Amino acid sequence: MSARLAAVPDALLAGVELEREYRTGPELVRVLRGASVEIRAAELVALVGASGVGKSTLLHLLGALDRPTGGRVLFQGEELFSRSEPALARYRRQDVGFVFQFYNLLGDLTALENAMVPALLQRASASEARERAAAALAEVGLADRMRHRPGELSGGEQQRVAVARALMNGPKVILADEPTGNLDPKTSAVIYDLFLQLQMERGIAFFVATHNPDLARKADRIYRLVDGRAREVDPSER
């Protein structure tokens, strides 16, 4: 473990010297080359970097949506990929939430039904899932839009549905991949302020990949991803 990570034993989620390679025909593409990051409980951390530098890849590894070629992911001090596949699925369902740039909502379902999905996958009853989803949508300011389908909602409203869905199973950390990249500046600020509110009120940690420097500066800490490696930005450079 790096000296930096060793100095912070209370990291909730950490990537240690992560590497990820892809083979495209005869070519081997190295996206991550020893990237190390850490997210503490109830902390909002931003990840910045140019488009195509590997921000999404890093989030996918931390969320166990993909496996690293090298390095480790630690969740509450335990090596994540030493777990069985069913245990990794439980991690994805209940310990971590995901918010994506293009919302990933199901078009034929209402906002309420979209938010219910994670609870139903956890085998909650329909009535319990409906009650929890309604509460989550109210929390993100959509109490009056629950019966609308994604096509009837603005981009900002769709992203708030996605946030409500991510909250459903009480995650300890939410990984957000360019969550404002498809939104105008005003709506982007609303979504980011919602993250800050949830961080404060619920104690949820956020790791947010963004290309927006103004939003990144609102984070507790910032990492910059360059050439496959992550460097924490000094507060004086923000």
Pairing, β 27-40 against β 11-24: antiparallel
Cα dihedral 130, 131, 136, 142 sign: positive
> 99 pLDDT exceeds 60?
yes
> 139 pLDDT exceeds 50?
yes
6 confidence band (pLDDT: 50, 70, 90): very low
> 46 pLDDT exceeds 80?
yes
Q: Domain extents for the chain? A: 42-67+83-237
Mean pLDDT across the stretch 96-124? 95
- Which pLDDT score is estimated for 1? 41
Cα dihedral 56, 172, 190, 98 sign: positive
Query: CA-to-CA distance for 133 and 183, rounded, in angstroms?
Result: 24
Query: CA-to-CA distance for 87 and 180, rounded, in angstroms?
Result: 31
> 4 pLDDT exceeds 60?
no
> 5 pLDDT exceeds 60?
no
109 confidence band (pLDDT: 50, 70, 90): very high
pLDDT digits (tens, 9 = 90+) for 7-31: 446 799 999 999 999 888 888 989 9
191 confidence band (pLDDT: 50, 70, 90): very high
> 130 pLDDT exceeds 80?
yes
Look at residues 174, 172, 145, 171 and name the one whose alpha carbon lies nearest to residue 158. Answer: 145
- Stronger pLDDT, 10 or 41, i.e. the higher one: 41
- Which pLDDT score is estimated for 9? 61
138 confidence band (pLDDT: 50, 70, 90): very high
Fold of the domain built from segment(s) 42-67+83-237: Rossmann fold (3.40.50)
Mean pLDDT across the stretch 120-128? 94
Whole-structure pTM value: 0.92
